[in-house]
Copies of this chain bind each other. A is one copy, B any other.
Amino acid sequence: MSAEERREQVIAVASRLMAERGIGATPTAEVAEEAGISHAYLFRLFPTKQALVTAVVERCNAEIHEAFKTAADRARATGEDVLPAIGMAYGGLLSDPRRLLLQLHAHALSPRDPDVRAAMQASFRRLFALIQRETDATPDEIRRFFAQGMLMNVLAATGIATLDEPFADVLRTGELDGASCFPDDFTASPLDPVAEEAPTP
């Protein structure tokens, strides 16, 4: 397997582990083990843990951007409203909590980590530009869209998203329709290990 392919694989493994356990709390040895390579080789693929973390965060940001872009394209093609479609795309990302938790960890890491901070700033800038370009939403609507996204991250991380209480119901209600932002299959506690196998039979 080429080094480039290995790197991809390592990023995939690392993003799962770091989403579950937190970035700082994920040992590089474990990433190597789950990726099926030696600890030593991991450090040939990524010179430092820092480099791996940056790669993971940037990959996650790219995936979110791509999800938004394809949702926007599809909505334009079928003539639906674009912003709600993007909102649904974010909801779709939630059925795998990986990216969402990673976002949260990246935000918390930003103050101490200039690389991650720059990546997150760039990601917001790109997403903002995408939405501004692809929709006719007002600045206020765009801001609310991002705010709702941040709230959903927090609700998922704290487990409020799966709480059966009135205040939780209110908080997880979507901005656009009256329904919950969270997909119906969003029942996994964040503590539960993320499914090992991709559910693509």
Tell me the A residues contacting B by CB distance below 8 Å. Answer: 20-22, 24-25, 101, 104-105, 107-112, 114, 117, 120-121, 124-125, 128-129, 132, 139-140, 142-144, 146-148, 150-151, 153-154, 157-160, 163, 165, 167, 170-171, 173, 175, 190-191
Q: Bound complex: CA of A72 vs CA of B142, how far in Å? A: 29
Min CB distance, A109 to chain B, in Å? 7
5 contacts between A and B (CB under 8 A): A25-B112, A107-B153, A120-B160, A121-B163, A128-B170
Chain A to chain B: the 8 pairs with minimum beta-carbon distance, closest first: A111-B190, A147-B147, A108-B108, A147-B151, A150-B150, A128-B167, A139-B170, A120-B158
Closest to A189 in B: B111
Q: Bound complex: CA of A153 vs CA of B153, how far in Å? A: 12
Min CB distance, A135 to chain B, in Å? 13
Q: Bound complex: CA of A10 vs CA of B128, how far in Å? A: 41
